[in-house]
Amino acid sequence: MFGKNKTIKHLNIGEDVFIDIVPVSLFKTNSIFIKSIKTKDAVLIDPGAEGEVILKEMEKFGDFNLKYIIATHAHLDHIGHVGFFKEKFPNAQFLLHEGDLFFLTENPFSRFAKRIKAYPCPIPDRFLKEGDIINVGNLSFEIIHTPGHSPGSICIYEPNISLVITGDTLFKGSAGRTDLIFGNEENLRASIKKLLERLPDETTVLPGHFSITTIGEEKKNNSFINRIYSENASCPLHDSF
């Protein structure tokens, strides 16, 4: 399923799709490049740091037309190098849910910002909302608003290739933390329930950190989800993200 490289992964899913996953910064945020092979239209999701490394990877596999840069939410480990890509690709539209706009001016991770040489984040070209469809070549990405980890967290679902990109909402085995500014555990529970009710079990889950999984696997093995559905629900939060 994955390429030979130890850290950078290529996900083979669908004939017309190229997916490159580059974990960046000490947080190993999954920066995700998706290209339609036929049309060369492409989208970059969560370029949190190491813009040069991500760009090199993108260029390795031929021409592309970067149409969109999308952030699953605006924590710095997901948007730190959006500015780098906006400089290189001024025609690419930067898309974000409006609920996280305040993070762009109020930076809660300033020491981390220095460490990753973060770029000032540009103002989004457009705000995303529940139900929006973002077309990239033959791919249609549906925006699912999943607040909880942050007010403007989204998941990005492509039903034809059965893939959901979950940012810091859902991880393999756990869920995003809710103790950061404007995090909300009730909302996170509701968002994860919404995902589980809506997405088929075979859907591949590509989270903002850690490994790939599936919705079905998480229904069985995810401790946060098990606790949502158990009666004495006390929810341990993921201790890192």
Residues that bind Zn ion (CB under 5 A): 75, 77, 168, 208, 241
| Shortest Å distance, C-beta 101 to Zn ion | 15
- The residue among 157 and 241 lying less far from Zn ion, judged by its C-beta, is 241
Beta bridge partners of 174: 171
> How far is it, in rounded angstroms, from Cα 168 to Cα 176?
5
- The residue among 60 and 114 lying less far from Zn ion, judged by its C-beta, is 114
Helices (H), 61-169: 76-79, 82-88, 110-115
DSSP 3-state of 174:
strand
| Shortest Å distance, C-beta 34 to Zn ion | 19
- The residue among 77 and 218 lying less far from Zn ion, judged by its C-beta, is 77
- The residue among 124 and 151 lying less far from Zn ion, judged by its C-beta, is 151
> How far is it, in rounded angstroms, from Cα 202 to Cα 213?
10
- The residue among 18 and 171 lying less far from Zn ion, judged by its C-beta, is 171
| Shortest Å distance, C-beta 140 to Zn ion | 25
| Shortest Å distance, C-beta 171 to Zn ion | 10
> How far is it, in rounded angstroms, from Cα 10 to Cα 151?
30
| Shortest Å distance, C-beta 73 to Zn ion | 6
Q: Residues with Cβ < 8 Å from 129, sequence gap 6 or more? A: 97, 98, 143, 145
Structure tokens given for 69: 């840069």
- The residue among 39 and 184 lying less far from Zn ion, judged by its C-beta, is 184
Note whether 39 and 137 are within 8 A (CB): yes
> How far is it, in rounded angstroms, from Cα 99 to Cα 20?
28
Measure CA of the first residue to CA of the last residue in the chain; give whole Å: 26
| Shortest Å distance, C-beta 75 to Zn ion | 3
